[in-house]
Amino acid sequence: MRRATVPFVALVTLLVFLAGGALAQGGPPSPDATPGASGVSGGALGGIDASVVPGYRLVMAETVFAPGSYVTQHTHPTAIVVCVHEGALGFAIQAGMATVTRSETRATPEAAEQLALDTDVVLDPGDCVAFDEFAAHTVHTAWNASEETTIIWEARLMKTDEPFTTFVDAMGTPVAS
pTM: 0.81
The pLDDT value recorded for residue 11 is 31
Gap between the Cα atoms of 177 and 174, Å rounded: 9
Listed in sequence order, the residues at least 6 apart from 5 whose beta carbon sits closer than 8 Å to its beta carbon are none
Spell out the per-residue pLDDT of the chain, length 177, in tens.
444 443 433 333 333 333 333 344 678 999 889 999 999 999 999 999 989 999 999 999 999 999 999 999 999 999 999 999 999 999 999 999 999 999 987 767 677 899 999 999 999 999 999 999 888 889 999 999 999 999 999 999 998 888 899 999 888 888 976
| C-alpha distance from residue 127 to each of 122, 134, 136 (Å) | 9, 23, 22
Is CATH 3.40.50.720 correct for 28-167? Answer: no
Signed CA dihedral, 115, 131, 145, 147: sign only: positive
Gap between the Cα atoms of 19 and 38, Å rounded: 25
Query: E strands within 17-149?
Result: 37-49, 56-75, 78-86, 89-95, 99-101, 113-114, 121-123, 128-132, 139-144
